[in-house]
Amino acid sequence: MNFTILRFDELASTNTEALNQAKQGADEGLCVVARRQTAGRGRHGRAWISPKDAGLYFSLVLRPRIENRFLPLITLMTAVVVSDLLAELYILKPDIKWANDIHIDGKKISGILAEMTETGKGLAVIVGIGINLNSLNFAPELKEIATSIEQEIHQTPAAEILLRNLTRLFAEFYQILNSENGAEKIRLEWAQRSSYFSGKSVKAVLENETITGTTCGIEENGALLIQTASGEIKIIHAGDVERLRKI
């Protein structure tokens, strides 16, 4: 994959800019990076707080050639990329929280947002990645549930080194996803890096119901499987999944 990086001091949202670029015909591999976002967003329309130089705010245009049923695996693949990035560069021990957050010791350090749009060149997928570089601007309510690279390694991370290695790893795993049996390979890679794959007591808050139980794998498209106390297997395609802590 060839990467072209567009850099901005400030954007409303790197995902919004990448979506617009894709609609205008941008090729796969276009990367949008901003030092600050004024309207950054996460899943379900939540705000992603994006102070200047406090995080890596990055969005990538993809034009995948995989079957549509496997498109959700792009989020899982990206989580693997970020997990390996943090482990490789900073000797951290990340855990992937299904489906799109990266945690260190239970605290969120990174989030992923994948969005799709139809363009004149066909379907485009925009993958947005936010990684907390420092914790200086964390709101009080975030200090107990979020962390940053600087907080974990006690030194300031080099954003350019982070970006260069992020694109390198992304290209490697995207090639795997597009290879023969790529979907299965990505599921296996994700399972090796996530404690949520199996045996985790969780609560899944969906649009119309809340499900509690124990995780027991993922579907071929990356949907999470939860076994309830009655033994029923529930398939979670979207929703908030939280670990249940023992009292």
* 139-167 pLDDT tens trace: 788 888 999 999 999 999 999 999 999 99
Predicted pLDDT at 214? 97
The closest alpha carbon to 12, from 57, 77, 65, belongs to 57
Name the CATH topology of 198-243: SH3 type barrels. (2.30.30)
Mean pLDDT, rounded, for 2-28: 97
Which helix (H) or strand (E) element contains residue 215?
strand 210-218
pTM: 0.95
Which tokens go with 22? 């894709």
The closest alpha carbon to 110, from 73, 68, 70, 152, belongs to 152
Q: How far apart are CA 186 and CA 174, in angstroms?
A: 9
User: Coil, strand or helix: which one is 225?
Assistant: strand
CA 115 to chain centroid, in Å, comes to: 11
Which tokens go with 100? 């799109």
Name the CATH topology of 4-193: BirA Bifunctional Protein; domain 2 (3.30.930)
The closest alpha carbon to 159, from 187, 129, 184, 192, belongs to 129
CA distances from 76 to 72, 148, 196, 197, 228 (A): 7, 21, 12, 12, 24
Q: Model confidence over 42-80: pLDDT tens digits?
A: 665 566 667 889 999 999 999 999 999 999 999 999 999
The domain locations on the chain are 4-193, 198-243
Q: Which 8-state DSSP code applies to residue 196? A: T
Confirm if 110 and 102 have CB atoms less than 8 A apart: yes
